Amino acid sequence: DSGVTQTPKHLITATGQRVTLRCSPRSGDLSVYWYQQSLDQGLQFLIQYYNGEERAKGNILERFSAQQFPDLHSELNLSSLELGDSALYFCASSAHLDRKDSPLHFGNGTRLTVT
Amino acid sequence: GESVGLHLPTLSVQEGDNSIINCAYSNSASDYFIWYKQESGKGPQFIIDIRSNMDKRQGQRVTVLLNKTVKHLSLQIAATQPGDSAVYFCAENLYGGSQGNLIFGKGTKLSVKP
């Protein structure tokens, strides 16, 4: 168990809808990362937060947004959903900011299916 | 753009044998590399990492080798066990990049035959 908790585990919704994915990092970790895993693109970095502030952006669509709250949990909001957004969404956390020997610990993901 | 790739998409080994999973990377600016293991229904699990100023690093039953000349990374698993069956990803981190902005390879599926 990585200590990173993601809810829900599964989510099925229709095109055009909006969903929110939730992540609770490991106790004490201040950095939270969101990744998308799809069959054609593999694991792709979306966005990083540290102690409530956005720190880095990857291949995140404008229809997607995220935030980190004072209690350090994070939410990823996906709107105007398209079929191609169907994927596994992972949250990861780490203890430090910009320390490359501080490995990322991943949750078990939310499987999003857009119909 | 440049990305991490893998030589073998699938690897089948006998229990007790050693496994070698290979990875080619194309970005010479990467200074940190990580291997992750992903079991079915779970998130990637950190196995071992290596910085670009090292050629080899050993963990428990695992060894990572880095050859910067040919931009090649490998993961060696000694005495492979059925519990090692999973998809293995190599990932790279660019020098100066955010630690979380990892570029993952496509993955190699390791299947261990009892």
Q: Residue B84: what are its φ and ψ, rounded to 5°? A: -85, -10
Residues B38-46, mean pLDDT to the nearest whole number: 93
**Is the distance from CB of B90 to CB of B8 less than 8 angstroms?**
no
Number of Cβ within 10 Å of residue B92's Cβ equals 26
Most confident of A41-55, B4-18, B76-90: B76-90
Residue among B32, B49, B106 minimizing CB distance to A42: B106
Which tops the pLDDT comparison, A29 or B94? A29
pLDDT single digits (tens) A41-71: 789 999 999 999 999 899 899 999 999 999 9
> Quick one: average pLDDT of B32-56?
94
B100 to chain A, closest Cα gap in Å: 7
- Which of A56, A90, A94 shows the shortest C-beta gap to B43? A90
**B86: helix, strand or coil:** strand
Residues facing B72 on adjacent strands:
B24, B67
Tens of pLDDT along A103-115? 889 999 999 999 9
HSE (side-chain half, CA atoms, 13 Å) at B59:
14
In the predicted structure, residue A40 carries a pLDDT above the cut 80: no
Statement: residue A82 has pLDDT above 90: yes
A102 pLDDT band (50/70/90 cuts)? Answer: confident
Q: Do A108 and B42 touch (CB under 8 A)?
A: yes
Closest CB to A103 among B49, B101, B106: B49
Mean pLDDT for the stretch of residues B88-103: 80
Query: Which residue of chain B has the CA closest to A5?
Result: B43
**Inter-chain residue contact A45 with B100, CB threshold 8 Å:** yes
Rg (CA), chain A: 13
Give pLDDT, residue B98. 64
